[in-house]
Amino acid sequence: MGDLLWPGDHRAGDLLTDAAVVTVMIRVEHAWLTALAETGLARITVPAPDELAGLVTPDDLPALARDAESGGNPLIPLLKLLRARLRGRNTAAAGWLHKGLTSQDVVDTAIVLGLREAVARVRGALLAQTGALSRLADEHRETRMAGRTLTQHAVPITFGLKAAGWLTGVLAARELGLPQRFPWQTSRAPLTRVADAFVTCTDAWGRIANDVLVGSRPEIHELIEGGAEGKGGSSAMPNKRNPVHAVLIKRAALAGPPLAALIHAGAAAAVDERPDGGWHVEWSTLRTLARHTVTAGAQTAELLAGLRVDTGRMLATLHDARPEIDAEQQSITPGVAPDQPYLGATDAIIDAALARATAAPEKGLSC
């Protein structure tokens, strides 16, 4: 699957696509049939998993999508199709299919299993980013550059400190826990927590992307996106090399919070024993948010792995900003040579971030 209007969506593969969701819903129904047979509630011969799955083909997806409207969810037309095709092979199993379940049981389970895959893929991207950022922070702990606040030169810092700040954001995303929960038909905290975890990730990646976008401006040119020949090319100006990964990552960071807010709005609208609309708004929203997060995670890992740091340009910018950029230091410690700026706790901050990165590399997102 790919999305022409969301470049990079192919990185998410078949995650939560219509075909993937149908496949998982059939798996859930098969697992329930098996449980009914094993407990003795249903005296049936359970069809093999591939036999049940083989009853539906990709050609059925358009009709399932269309017919989902009449019942309000995609499971209802799927069950009608499964029963009709299973009846000629295994009448008893067709009669017991879905007994004791609700539509929400199956749809929620299918979506959560898709989200579990998304979380695993995001976690892998976070681990790759942690390694790249740890290397940058340590390698450039002495690389002097001009610090900037409110778009203006502030005091001298090191690029290692900036990379450590990026690393801290990624580590905060990596260490979110998503524990298992008991039934939650109208208590949607597990899904809002997943949505919030995804947005915490895109927030951290957006911060990195923003710094890269600023640093790659031609008048600054302290950071350069790496990549294959032709990456970042322009359709009209052959002289340009656009920081496309940073642009696309920022896009995901901007799109994530409104999607998570919609999941929260749905949770707040929950009523009775099954939400009337609040549940339904989750499905495509979670799919979009999950796919965007997986895509941005892979793009961020690739961006960091190939990021080039122009230390000479950083030093030149710092030199050109003197003596004004040293004004605060001179007011505190007059007479200190400008080539020996006070860097405060820079090394301690970098060391602390590196220690966190190596302390528990497997700790993090789980569900």
pLDDT digits (tens, 9 = 90+) for 39-68: 999 999 999 999 999 999 999 999 999 999
Calculate mean pLDDT across residues 71-85: 96
CA distances from 280 to 15, 102, 108, 231, 311 (A): 19, 14, 10, 39, 52
The rounded radius of gyration (Å) of the Cα atoms in the chain is 26
- Model-wide pTM > 0.95: no
Question: Which of 307, 342, 365 lies closest to 133, judged by CA?
Answer: 307
Task: Report yes or no: 142 and 160 within 8 Å, Cβ to Cβ.
Answer: yes
Q: Where in the sequence numbering do the catalytic residues fall?
A: 234, 274
Q: Examine the pLDDT at 309 and tell me if it is beyond 80.
A: yes
Burial zone of 189 (CB within 10 Å; 0-12 exposed, 13-18 middle, 19+ buried): exposed
Question: Which of 310, 347, 345 lies closest to 138, judged by CA?
Answer: 347
Calculate mean pLDDT across residues 233-262: 89
Gap between the Cα atoms of 178 and 330, Å rounded: 49
More confident residue, 283 or 329: 283
Q: Examine the pLDDT at 355 and tell me if it is beyond 70.
A: yes
Calculate mean pLDDT across residues 101-111: 93
Q: Examine the pLDDT at 337 and tell me if it is beyond 90.
A: no
Question: Which of 252, 290, 309, 297 lies closest to 115, judged by CA?
Answer: 290
Gap between the Cα atoms of 68 and 82, Å rounded: 14
Per-residue pLDDT reduced to its tens digit, 251-270: 999 999 999 999 999 988 88
More confident residue, 81 or 367: 81
Q: Identify the pLDDT of residue 348.
A: 95
Q: Examine the pLDDT at 365 and tell me if it is beyond 50.
A: no
Q: Which helix (H) or strand (E) covers residue 145, if one does?
A: strand 144-149
- Domains observed in the chain: 9-101 (1.10.275.10), 124-359 (1.20.200.10)
pLDDT band at residue 159, thresholds of 50, 70 and 90?
Answer: very high
pLDDT band at residue 338, thresholds of 50, 70 and 90?
Answer: low
Q: Identify the pLDDT of residue 179.
A: 59
Beta bridge partners of 178: none
Question: For every residue of 268-283, which 3-state class applies, written as one string?
Answer: HCCCCCCCCCCCCCHH
Question: Which of 108, 117, 95, 81 lies closest to 46, judged by CA?
Answer: 95
Q: Examine the pLDDT at 139 and tell me if it is beyond 60.
A: yes
Gap between the Cα atoms of 13 and 114, Å rounded: 12
Task: Report yes or no: 225 and 303 within 8 Å, Cβ to Cβ.
Answer: yes
Mean pLDDT of the chain, nearest integer:
90
Q: Examine the pLDDT at 354 and tell me if it is beyond 80.
A: yes
Per-residue pLDDT reduced to its tens digit, 163-189: 999 999 999 887 656 555 655 677 788
Q: The tokens of 12 are what?
A: 């998410």
